[in-house]
Chain A
Amino acid sequence: MRAPNFFYKGLGFAVLKRRVIKIALPIAAAALVLSACGSDDDDDKKKEGGSTAPGNTGGGNKPTWTIGFQAGLSGENAQLGINEENGARLAVEQANAKGDLPFTLKFKTSDDEASETKSVSAAQKLIDDSNVVAVIGPAFSGPTKAASPNYAKAKLATVSPSATNPSLTSAGNNFTAFLRGTPNDNAQGSGMAKYLSKKLQAKKVFVVDDKTEYGVGLSKVAKDELAKAGVQVVSDSVPKATPDYGPISTKIKNSGADAMIYAGYYQDGAPFAKKLKEAGFTGPKFSGDGTNDSQFVSLAGDAANDWFLTCPCSDANVEAATKQFTEDYKKRFNTNPSTYSAESFDIANLVIDQMKSFGAEKIGREAMLTKLKSASYKGLTKSFKFQPNGEFDGATTFIYQVKGGKIGYMGDIDQLVGG
């Protein structure tokens, strides 16, 4: 405190010194904190650019429009969200770089931490930004369900690359701004059931869900379809973040089931796989797109081997159509594209394609939503078209299997089963 001491004395504040410090320090600290918070907003404004207010075409400047993106980008199941963010970001950057757009594109992300409670405020962040004309996401079913009423009210279109819970498009929800950019869990659940009953001739299957919107939906379809195929079904629910997957693994082993399905995300699928291996369960093990991620393999290690993983997504690294995309992606993000990267890239391009049809005119949210609903777009991974309720038009499911620490692509289930 020597220096300030001298300073205050010099100014004749010697008597006040202590009191000044006592008051000034907290104020200075508070000011620092406030200015730190404030600077975020400033940055946003700078990025948006002063002369490009919404719809402003004056001064020869191109207008600026923003594509929003909502997913869990931090938290426990962030990898899927990051895969999608990268895919969409690449599409936006490439579209801007091409230079033939009648507008400048911005990309704005909002992190919902894959949590239903945080989803609403994450959505609000995008709704409040009047430059956002369409949103890619949310990535997960739970957050989608939570945020969709608000998006519907704002008439802001959301196209999700991966929210696969079937109930999202049911009429009672009135999620009028929700479009599903992928076949739903009905396709995955029935794909698993088909493969288990026809290809593997399973007699008794143990189905475990994780009590999330996604897990319960997927397991319900799988159970119904298995029962229809005459397979005996046993089931249980293991809520996320259970401290011990030992008892449930023993239960599966003792039930005499010859195969099992886990309807949940990789975060919990990994320790589950480890305990199943320890319990000595050797039958075929299935899981859906929530587990279909390289993180599953790196967390579970050896125990991930032989797991079958389904997905409405094909493998961008293997399919010929996505070769160029894979190279660009690697160059930009220094990693291989993973689950839903290419689908997200396609959906971003679908959105950009519809935006182009406005030319340099003002893009209204409602008009954009109407256009997207009737859009049809041939992407790298598949053709995109929507049913009137926002459901994806089409139902292909692909299957993968973990072999030697890698998720190996097997192909289209219908083709593999042969019918």
Chain B
Amino acid sequence: MQPDEILDYLIPGIMLGALYAVIAIGYTLVYGVLQLINFAHSEVFMVGAYSALLALTWIDPSSNPTTFMSVLLVAAGLAVSGTAGAATAFTLEKVAYRPLRRRNAPRLAFLISAIGASYFLQNLAGKLFGRDSRALPTVFENKKVFSVFGTQVTILQLLIVCAAVLMMVGLDYLVNRTKLGLGIRAVAQDAETAGLMGVDIDKVISRTFIIGGFMGGIAGFLFGLHLQLSFTMGFLPGITAFAAAVVGGVGNIRGAMMGGMLLGIVESFSSPIFGESWRYVSAFAVLVLVLMFRPTGILGERLGRSA
């Protein structure tokens, strides 16, 4: 790799990392309040993508949209995928987790329930939308917007990074500055005491799922624009994002953002340095390395206490 090619790989890496970060937040938020890995989150992501496919084909199946139409279509895609993701996550919590929580089920039951829900949603989507891959309709022509030191940045890359950054800033504000955020942090620190202090734990948990699902759904739509859709599309990004959450320190929101970015960039650079087949090897080697020196992840210091 030549030094002047660094940006050629850094920019796609940032784009992929931004997507991983947004998905990782979904894992980490739920872990924060429930100490539970929501393995069905990858299917929330997939549902987001398919809902955008349905909405976009319904609005405009033509392949040459005007600029105004493009903006409208992207906005519609974001809105629909976010809503569908939030609705799926909300239902998931109601159906797959809340009944177990009410009965004080052991940790393992939650895990099985999560995997079951994941398979159910995956195969339901396969049944409804077909098991072949689908592409989203052309929402905009992916032109170059500007170039940084000779490396072109495309509209899609810009859109993905902007949407991810906006969501992350918004989430950071929500968690650190609002009453709901205070509730989320309180439940994450000590659910029982938070309950005694008048926090409605059920409501906080449900809303946490909604927030994570909203972001996951939008990530699904953006990922669909970048690649394509299939009923198993959530699996690999889901696993990587989960790893990103762990790298950053599971339960820590800023950690998830950092972890996502780190893994995305490492994956991207593994292609010119080691070869494309070392993509996941290098990403997961980073995971192991980080955990060797910081077993709780980069920013996670509360893990030991909460476990």
Contact = CB atoms under 8 A, between A and B. Distances in A.
Interface of A: 74-76, 78-79, 208, 211, 236-239, 241-244, 246-248, 250-251, 254, 267, 270-271, 278, 280, 295, 298-301
B135 A301 contact: yes
B172 to A, nearest CB: 25
B271 A251 contact: yes
B116 to A, nearest CB: 15
Given A243-B240, A246-B12, A278-B154, A295 B276 contact: no
B63 interface: yes
Interface of B: 2, 5, 8-9, 12-13, 15-16, 63, 126, 131-135, 138, 142, 152, 154, 223, 226-228, 230, 232, 236-237, 240, 267-269, 271-272, 275-277, 279
B260 to A, nearest CB: 12
A250 B232 CA distance: 27
Contact of A76 (B63, B131, B272): B131
A174 to B, nearest CB: 30
Given A76-B230, A79-B132, A295-B132, A251 B272 contact: yes
Contact of A237 (B9, B236, B276): B276
22 contacts: A76-B133, A208-B276, A238-B277, A243-B240, A244-B16, A244-B226, A246-B12, A247-B269, A247-B271, A250-B5, A250-B8, A250-B272, A254-B5, A267-B133, A270-B228, A271-B227, A271-B228, A280-B152, A295-B132, A298-B135, A299-B133, A300-B135
Q: A79, A239, A247, A254 — which one has the most chain B CB atoms within 10 A of its CB?
A: A247
Nearest to B143: A278
Given A78-B131, A244-B227, 19 more contacts: A236-B275, A237-B276, A237-B277, A242-B276, A243-B223, A243-B236, A243-B237, A243-B267, A247-B9, A248-B271, A250-B8, A267-B230, A271-B227, A278-B154, A280-B152, A299-B135, A301-B63, A301-B135, A301-B138
Contacts of B5: 250, 254
A288 B279 CA distance: 25
Contacts of A237: 275-277
Nearest to A255: B272
Q: Which 8 A-B pairs have the closest CB atoms?
A: A247-B271, A246-B12, A238-B276, A74-B131, A250-B8, A237-B277, A299-B135, A271-B227
Tell me whether chain B's interface is mostly helix, strand or loop, or mixed. Answer: helix
- DSSP majority for the A interface? helix
Contacts of A236: 271, 275-277
A369 B91 CA distance: 55
B133 A244 contact: no
Contacts of A208: 276
Contacts of A271: 227-228
Contact of A241 (B138, B236, B271, B275): B236
B142 A242 contact: no
A247 B240 CA distance: 18
A242 to B, nearest CB: 7
Nearest to A246: B12
A334 to B, nearest CB: 16
Contacts of B134: 299
Contacts of B232: 76
B12 A250 contact: yes
Contacts of B279: 239, 242
B17 to A, nearest CB: 10
A13 B122 CA distance: 43
Nearest to B151: A250
B135 A270 contact: yes
Contacts of A244: 12, 15-16, 226-227, 267-268
B297 to A, nearest CB: 22
Contacts of B63: 301
A237 B270 CA distance: 12
A341 to B, nearest CB: 16
Nearest to A79: B132
Contacts of B275: 236-237
A300 B138 CA distance: 10
B228 A299 contact: yes
Contacts of B131: 74-76, 78
Contacts of B2: 254
Contacts of B15: 244, 246
Given A239-B276, A254-B5, A246 B268 contact: yes
A413 B13 CA distance: 40
- Best-buried of B126, B228, B275, B276 by chain A (most CB within 10 Å): B276
Contacts of B126: 74
B222 to A, nearest CB: 12
A75 B123 CA distance: 11
Contacts of B12: 244, 246-247, 250
A254 B8 contact: yes
B227 A243 contact: yes
Contacts of B268: 244, 246-247
Contacts of A301: 63, 135, 138
Contacts of A300: 135
A357 B264 CA distance: 62
Contacts of A278: 142, 154
A241 B15 CA distance: 17
Nearest to A82: B132
B278 to A, nearest CB: 10
A193 B15 CA distance: 36
A249 B119 CA distance: 33
A254 B2 CA distance: 9
A86 B63 CA distance: 31
